[in-house]
Chain A
Amino acid sequence: MSRTLIELTRACREESLPRGRSRCLLKDVSFALREGQKVAVFSDFNKSANALLECASEVAPLQSGKVEIRANVSWPLPSRGALEGVMTGRQNAKFLQAVYGTPGEEYEQIARIEELAALEPGCFDQRMKSWGPLMRARFDVAVSLVFDFDVYIISKRFPWSQPTRPQLETLVREAFERRVSGKTLLLFHQDEEFLGRYCDEAIVISDCQIAYKGSFPDAQKWFHLNITKSRIEDDSQDQEIEDSSPELIEESPDEVQLW
C-alpha cells in the first residue's frame, strides 16, 4: 500500500471579491494523493481547479479544513513565485537552487535553468525587470523543470504545446518527461491530450466539490457528459508580473506563450 503524500480533509477555500463579498472555490473537499498516482483534474470552473492545486501545494491557505503534506511538493508549475525583478536571472536561480536544489549540483542546475530558459546571451545576468514577459515566462518554466520534487503540481499554464517552435517544444517536453517519470502528478490543463498522456486517474470538480473520481477515460467521459463549463470568466491573472515594464504584453490566463 503506497503512502499518502497529500491529504486534504474537508478543505474549504474562498476568494475575496470587491465590496466585501467572497466566492467559494472549494467546499468540504476531501482528497488524498498517493505515491505514484498521476491524477488529472477536470473542473467546471478553472479557479476551483487552481484553488485545489494551490491548497494541495500550500501556496494558498484554507479557510477551513486541513491539508497534510508528507512529501516534497512543488508549487503550481510554472508560477512566478517570489522572484524579484531587481535581481538578475542568475541570482533568482541561485536563490531557488539553494532552497529547492540538490546540494553539490549548484552549477549544473543553474546552467540547466539557463539552457532551458533559452534567453539571449547576457540576459541571464541582467535584472529580470528589464526582460520582456515572454522571457520571464520561459524562465518560470525553466525553473520549474530543474528541481526534483516528489509531487509535481502542474497548472494549466504549463506550455505543453508550442507549434511555432517544435525544437524548443521538444526540449521542454523531454525535460518535463524526464522530470515527472516515476513521480506523483496532479495536473490541471486545457490540453486533454497532455492530461491523457501522463495521467491514469482523474477527478472532476463541480460546484466546488469533487463530483467524480475514477480512471482518466471514465472521468473524462463523465465530465463531458455531465458538466458544462462555467460562464464566469477567469478575468484575473493567475500570477502578477513583478516590476512589469510599460510595454508589457498582458499575459493570458491560458497556457504560457514562450516565444
Chain B
Amino acid sequence: MVNLLTAFGRRVARIVNGLALQVRIVLALADRDFFMRAEKGSFGVWGVLFEPLALMLTLLALRILVRMKTVDLMNPLIWLACGVTMLFLFKKIAIKALTGVARGQKMFFYRRIRPLDTLLASALIEARLHASILVLIFISESFWFWRIQLDDPGLALIDFIVTVMLAIGIGVSALVIGHRIPIVKTLTKFGLNRILLWTSGIFFATYTLPGPTRPLVTWNPLLHSVEILRHSINNAYPIPDISLDYLLTCAFLSCGFGLIFYFSNEALLLSDD
C-alpha cells in the first residue's frame, strides 16, 4: 500500500513538474519572441503595441469619412476596437501559425522545445498585447468621456480567453497544414483572410442585418466573439443569434481536433523535408 502511494505520489509529482516545466518554457519563449519583435520593429517595443492601433485609427477615420451609420449604444471607437482587436488576435495566432514551424526551426535544436511550445508562446504574447490594447483604449475612452461602462467584466474576460483558445486550436492544425501543404498559405492570404475580415463583424453589427441573412455570417465563431465582447461592455447591445455556447463549442472542438492532429504529425514537423 505504501509502495502504491509512493508510486502514485511520484507520478503526480512528475506530472506537476512536467506542467511547471512546460509553463517555464512557454514563458521563456514568449519573452524571447517579444524581444525579437521589438528588435525587428522600427519603433521598438512600442511599435509592437501600436501597429494594431494604427489600423484601428485608419478604419475609424474611414468610417467618419464615409459617414456610416453611427452605432447606437456604444462609442464608435470602442465598437471598432472590439472587432479589430479580436480579429487581429485570431489572425496573429492562428493564421501566422501556418509559418510557425519554419519560423521556429532554430528553436527546435533544443529537445525540450517543440512546435506547440512556440505556438503557445506566440499566443501568450499576442493575447497580452491585444488585451493591453483593449484596456488602453477602454481607459482612454473612459477618461475622455469621464464615464466607465463595463457591464459584465467576467463575460469579457471569458470571451477573450475562449477566443485565444479558439485561435490556438486552429493554429495547432495550421502548424501542421502550413508545413505539409505550402499552397495553403497562399490560399489563406488571398481567400480566408478576406472572408474573415468581412464576416467577423468589424464593419457591421449583427442586429442590423435582416434575419434571413444572418446565417451567412453567424457560422463564423469570430463574429460571436466580437459581438459578445461588445455585449459585455453594454448589456443593452443586442446580440440576436449570437451565443457563447457556440463559441465555446468551436473552441473546444478546434483544440481537441487540433491537438490530436498535431501529436500524430509532430515527428513530421521536426524532420527535414
Chain A positions within 8 Å of B, measured between CB atoms, are: 57-59, 61-62, 69, 73, 75, 79, 81-82, 84, 86-87, 91, 94-96, 98-100, 103
Minimum CB–CB distance from B8 to chain A (whole Å) comes to 20
B24, A61: Cβ atoms closer than 8 Å: no
With most chain B CB atoms within 10 A of its CB, the pick from A59, A94, A95 is A95
- Cα A58 to Cα B20 in complex, Å, equals 23
- Where chain A touches its partner, the secondary structure class is loop
Chain B positions within 8 Å of A, measured between CB atoms, are: 20, 24-25, 27-28, 31-32, 35-36, 39, 106-107, 109-113, 270-272
- Cα A87 to Cα B106 in complex, Å, equals 15
Instruction: Name B111's contact: one of A58, A84, A87 (CB within 8 Å).
Output: A58
Minimum CB–CB distance from B189 to chain A (whole Å) comes to 28
B113, A99: Cβ atoms closer than 8 Å: yes
A98, B25: Cβ atoms closer than 8 Å: yes
Minimum CB–CB distance from A226 to chain B (whole Å) comes to 33
A87, B24: Cβ atoms closer than 8 Å: no
Top 3 closest A-B pairs, CB basis?
A: A98-B28, A61-B271, A82-B106
Instruction: Name A95's contact: one of B20, B31, B106 (CB within 8 Å).
Output: B31
B35, A59: Cβ atoms closer than 8 Å: no
A103, B20: Cβ atoms closer than 8 Å: yes
Minimum CB–CB distance from B273 to chain A (whole Å) comes to 10
A98, B24: Cβ atoms closer than 8 Å: yes
24 A-B pairs with CB atoms under 8 Å apart are A58-B111, A59-B111, A61-B271, A61-B272, A62-B271, A73-B111, A75-B110, A79-B109, A82-B106, A82-B107, A86-B36, A86-B39, A87-B32, A91-B32, A91-B35, A94-B28, A95-B31, A96-B110, A98-B25, A98-B28, A99-B28, A99-B113, A100-B110, A103-B20
Minimum CB–CB distance from B111 to chain A (whole Å) comes to 5
Minimum CB–CB distance from B196 to chain A (whole Å) comes to 32
